[in-house]
A = this chain, B = another copy of it.
Amino acid sequence: MKKCCKDSEGWQGKFHGYGYRMTVAREVILDLLSNTDKHMSAEDIYMKIHETHPNIGLTTVYRTLEVLSDMALVFKLDIGDGRARYELAESPKKPNHHHHLVCTGCRKIVDYSDFIDQEVKLLQDTEKGLSKKYNFKITNHLIQFYGLCGACSARA
């Protein structure tokens, strides 16, 4: 009996741990996000996987992204236009911690990891202080800089 998914990354156990099943759609979407450095919207993802898996619907893409966010495999990102973007979360196997620099003109997103070390250090301290003072269980943070990229700046 053929297994549903090849599970090359060892994700199956993780799905089971959360009480989820491993399915083709979930694997395809994880694969796609694993192999891009873009910040794709649900529709971007739908269009891309539609090329090879025309049977996967947009609704499923949305639901899958929600599941993956819930499992913290994927990070949902909001850059201020009305549509969410998704990127693979960092993991021990694939450390890629970065923050975002967003052009408010063309919505270009630059991932930067310069300065990250000091930022992370400060964030950890802040997180600890905030947790205690406000009794929050902090799960993650968002840092974004907004501005105009060179092209948009020139165009303005």
Stoichiometry, as copies per complex, reads 2
Q: Judge if A150 is at the interface, Cβ distance under 8 Å.
A: yes
**Known contacts A141-B146, A142-B145; can you find 5 more A-B pairs with CB under 8 A?**
A101-B138, A115-B130, A131-B147, A137-B147, A139-B148
A interface residues with partner B (beta carbon < 8 Å): 76, 78, 80, 101, 103-104, 110, 112, 114-115, 118-119, 122, 125-127, 129-131, 133-150, 153
Main secondary structure, interface of A, reads mixed
A133 touches which one: B114, B119, B140 (CB < 8 A)? Answer: B114
B149 lies within 8 A of A136 (CB) = yes
A147 lies within 8 A of B136 (CB) = yes
> Within the assembled complex, what's the spacing in Å between the Cα atoms of A135 and B122?
25
B134 lies within 8 A of A110 (CB) = yes
